[in-house]
Structure 1
Amino acid sequence: MAKSTSNRQNVAETKKPFWKRWWFWLIVIVAVIAIGGSQAGGSKTADVPASQTQSQTKDSERTDGTDQETQPQQQAQSSTESQTEQKSESSDVPADYRSALKQAESYSNTMHMSKQGIYDQLVSEYGGKFSAEAAQYAIDNVKADWNANALAKAKTYQSEMSMSPEAIRDQLTSEYGEKFTAEEADYAIQHLND
């Protein structure tokens, strides 16, 4: 009898939830890298020469009947100024900081991770391997709605794992789970069935 109890305990210990298995995180990391790589390609609109942009602007102005001389010059000036500002802002930030920020945005947008979860993933030796400073820069600059991320995770737990609201709250706030704040978890539970 003791032997069967021991076997049951061994079986229970070996059956981990899929999100706690190494292969799950490997798939997640590969997916994030693939998404990040596709986003790194960016849009090709910045590569269009200014002369083409100006000629397109002039063509559209001719159909509007507006002043053909002053508007293209003003638009060209404002686009040049904004491109200069973007270049100077991005050149002030080290490349690894920008990479950490892109990865943080990807984690937030696709996996709906918490602020602490993203930070931990960025600095993890099994994750991004970024410095603590680069990860903190990413966390400070990522545009994320942490309440919305907590709600998205909660809905996933509810629909895919049929978890109770209390179990979802525990998973959202667990240091071994999602690492959302108590306030973010409360928000998610309050809006779970909206």
Structure 2
Amino acid sequence: MGILLVLLAFAAFAAIIVFGILAIVFFARKENSKGKKQLIFTGASFAVFLISFIAFGATLVNDDEPEKKIAVASDEQPIVKKDEEKEPELSEEEKAEQEKKAKEQAAAEAKAKEEAEAKAKAEAEAKAKENSIPREHKSALKKAKLYAESMYMSKAGIYDQLTSEYGENFPAEAAQYAIDNLEFDWKKNALKKAEFYAEGMSMSDSAIYDQLVSEYGEKFTPEEAKYAIDNLE
């Protein structure tokens, strides 16, 4: 179609030239009627040339549009997702193993949660108990620890010192609280006292024993005093 329009345009252009020359010749010969006819033919040829040229241009535009449409269509095509690879099915043994692991993990998590809750509860109870203890009871316990650690006194000796009007003068309840909550190795204290009497005062084992258990002495129990004597070097 484009080639035919080009040929038609060239033919019309040639006709314009031919009819134009003839019109000039006829007007030069004073043959005006023939000259006018040639002018009409020239105008018609020009019209054909113009129409052919326009048609050819339109053809070129139309030839480009399919390519553009194809390009647009290709851009607008939806992306087709590939089928996701399916995971292989598990065997019955594998399924059972997974279920076992899941149960074990759930049990471990439940146990950890239970232990954490129990720990938090115990800490809260201990804190509440600590806050409920009277100040004087706490002070008596601190004094009792001091006597046990630095002066190696017996449990009974510390109690008497805490309640004595010539000592710490704590109430009996506060002193008893201190003794009940004082964790100490009383046999070790008895041995420390025995070593003092043996090295510092050169006393005999029998005299040291009597001093350790005496109501007017250290007030250790017979068991604690015997341990001290047996372990003297």
Q: What's the TM-score bracket when you normalise by the shorter of the two chains? A: 0.5 to 0.7
Q: What residue number does 2:219 align with?
A: 179
Listed one character per residue, the Cα deviations across residues 112-170 of structure 1 (whole Å, up to 9, x for unaligned) are 10111000000000111111111111111001111111001001111111111111001
- 2:125 and 2:195 map into 1 onto residues whose CA distance is 40
- 2:149 and 2:124 map into 1 onto residues whose CA distance is 28
Q: What residue number does 1:65 align with?
A: none
Unaligned 5+ residue runs, structure 1?
1-79
Listed one character per residue, the Cα deviations across residues 171-190 of structure 1 (whole Å, up to 9, x for unaligned) are 10111110011111000000
Listed one character per residue, the Cα deviations across residues 70-109 of structure 1 (whole Å, up to 9, x for unaligned) are xxxxxxxxxx988755542321111111110110011001
Q: What residue number does 1:168 align with?
A: 208
Q: What residue number does 1:55 align with?
A: none
- 1:85 and 1:107 map into 2 onto residues whose CA distance is 29
Q: What residue number does 2:170 align with?
A: 130
- 1:105 and 1:188 map into 2 onto residues whose CA distance is 21
Q: What residue number does 1:88 align with?
A: 128
Question: Which amino acid in 1 is paired with 2:206?
Answer: E
- 1:166 and 1:187 map into 2 onto residues whose CA distance is 13
CA RMSD of aligned residues (A): 2.1
Question: Which amino acid in 2 is paired with 1:168?
Answer: I
- Tell me, yes or no, if structure 1 residue 151 matches structure 2 residue 187: no
- 2:214 and 2:188 map into 1 onto residues whose CA distance is 18
Alignment of 1:7-26 (within 5 A): none
- Tell me, yes or no, if structure 1 residue 98 matches structure 2 residue 138: yes
Which consecutive aligned stretches of 4+ in structure 1 deviate over 2 angstroms post-superposition? 80-89
Question: Which amino acid in 2 is paired with 1:159?
Answer: E
Alignment of 1:44-83 (within 5 A): none
Q: What residue number does 1:75 align with?
A: none
* Percent of matched pairs sharing the same residue: 58
Q: What residue number does 1:189 align with?
A: 229
Q: What residue number does 1:116 align with?
A: 156
Question: Which amino acid in 2 is paired with 1:104?
Answer: A
Question: Which amino acid in 2 is paired with 1:141?
Answer: N
